[in-house]
Amino acid sequence: MPIVSYSGPARDWDALAVALAAAMGGASRVRREEPLGPRTTLRVGGASRLFLEPADAAALASALRFLRAAGVPFLPLGRGSNLLVPDEGVDGAVIALEGSTWSAFTPNGDGTVWTGAGLRLKQLCGLATKAGLAGFEFLEGIPGTVGGALRMNAGAMGGWMFDRVEEVELMSAEGEVVRLPRAAFHVDYRHCRELGDAIALGAQLRSGATAATPAEEIVRQIDVYRRKRQESQPREASAGCMFKNPPGDSAGRLIDQCGLKGLREGAAEVSPVHANFIVNHGGATAAEVLALVRRVRAAVYAQKGVELQPEVLLFGRRWEEYL
């Protein structure tokens, strides 16, 4: 079942949770009404009707088949660093790839490394540094997972996730596992078509250098990028850049030129540090963030004639319903 907006019929979620737990087996976890705000970097939003932590690929496949038969939509969750969770939560099954099964980092000795979808990008950079694998430094300050970075084709400092990809292993919504080469993927700015309704399980990544690189050299590059981020990005809770950069332009610059830095709705604010970040000063609601998003878009359209498109995803919903 594709990841789409969903407002389905009333369901017996408790009964579904019990049946799912049986289908996935004892080592997996199924929770009801799991609060999602704390699982995101913006820290707003409601709970997930079902929250699944499959122990392994077999359990995940069983879950997907069960959900498909029951007509319940699923949504993979990484680190939640590119998400706005609606206050009403998610009427579906959120699937988190948590634990060591999903966070492999296995160098192959030929400049490539196998990484699990649940591996955090920060960990990936640390482990790559120790293994002498250069080329992943640009990912260091992106607070996501390998799975989320693949889905978003995350990018920074001139590098893109898919620049480093050789192969991706994914599970289709039907529970089938396939391993596809880079050439099979259609990716562009913050998007990967093939992961729209599938779950990435892991990826074979290639270092940017032909020979092993001394750790000090990699660390030096990471420090350069880290300093750049520290100087330009707010420290408060956020989901990173709220809007995509329009072609040839910068969303942050447009918002700044419209005088919108510091605009507030409750505890949500257009960051005075970086205009394309909406920060949560503590206790903000999704409604407040949405109100700010609408005000920013309206002002930029009125003053600049540019219709900004959100980069942050509205979890389980379509932006069109809210803009």
Ligand X SMILES: Cc1cc2nc3c(=O)[nH]c(=O)nc-3n(C[C@H](O)[C@H](O)[C@H](O)COP(=O)(O)OP(=O)(O)OC[C@H]3O[C@@H](n4cnc5c(N)ncnc54)[C@H](O)[C@@H]3O)c2cc1C
Q: With the C-alpha atoms ordered 314, 316, 319, 323, is the resulting torsion angle positive or negative?
A: negative
Q: How far is 108 from 154, CA to CA, in rounded Å? A: 24
Which residues, numbered 235-274, are part of the site for ligand X (CB under 6 A)? Answer: 238-240
Candidates 124, 152, 258, 275; binder of ligand X (CB under 6 A) is: 152
By beta-carbon proximity to ligand X, the closer residue of 152 and 286 is: 152
Residue 101 beta carbon to ligand X: minimum distance, rounded to whole angstroms: 13
Burial of 130-159, coded b for 16+ CB within 10 Å and e otherwise, reads: ebbbbbbbbbbbbbbbbbbbbbbbbbbeeb
Residue 54 beta carbon to ligand X: minimum distance, rounded to whole angstroms: 11
Stretch that binds ligand X, among 22-30, 62-70, 149-157, 215-223 (CB under 6 A): 149-157
Q: Are 222 and 140 in contact (CB under 8 A)?
A: yes
- Is 125 a binding residue for ligand X by CB under 6 A? The answer is no
Q: Where are the beta strands (DSSP E) in 227-320?
A: 237-241, 264-265, 268-270, 277-280, 313-314
By beta-carbon proximity to ligand X, the closer residue of 62 and 81 is: 81
Q: Which residue do the tokens 């979808």 mark? A: 117
Residue 212 beta carbon to ligand X: minimum distance, rounded to whole angstroms: 27
Q: Are 87 and 46 in contact (CB under 8 A)?
A: yes
Q: Three-state DSSP class for 296?
A: helix
Q: Which residue do the tokens 């992943």 mark? A: 136
Q: How far is 182 from 157, CA to CA, in rounded Å? A: 21
Which residues, numbered 185-204, are part of the site for ligand X (CB under 6 A)? Answer: 195, 199-200
Q: Are 46 and 84 in contact (CB under 8 A)?
A: no
Q: How far is 36 from 159, CA to CA, in rounded Å? A: 30
- Greatest C-alpha distance within the chain: 58
Residue 213 beta carbon to ligand X: minimum distance, rounded to whole angstroms: 22
- Is 48 a binding residue for ligand X by CB under 6 A? The answer is no
Stretch that binds ligand X, among 52-60, 72-80, 174-182, 264-272 (CB under 6 A): 72-80
- Is 20 a binding residue for ligand X by CB under 6 A? The answer is no
Size of the site for ligand X (CB under 6 A): 32
Residue 153 beta carbon to ligand X: minimum distance, rounded to whole angstroms: 7
Q: Three-state DSSP class for 151?
A: helix
| Radius of gyration, CA atoms only, the chain | 20
Stretch that binds ligand X, among 43-51, 53-61, 138-146, 215-223 (CB under 6 A): 138-146
Residue 53 is encoded by which pair of tokens?
A: 């932590």
Residue 239 beta carbon to ligand X: minimum distance, rounded to whole angstroms: 5
Candidates 37, 143, 310, 316; binder of ligand X (CB under 6 A) is: 143
Binding track, positions 75-104, relative to ligand X; x by CB under 6 A: xxxxxxxxx-------------x-------
Binding site for ligand X (CB under 6 A): 41, 75-83, 97, 117, 142-145, 147-149, 151-152, 154-156, 195, 199-200, 233, 238-240, 313
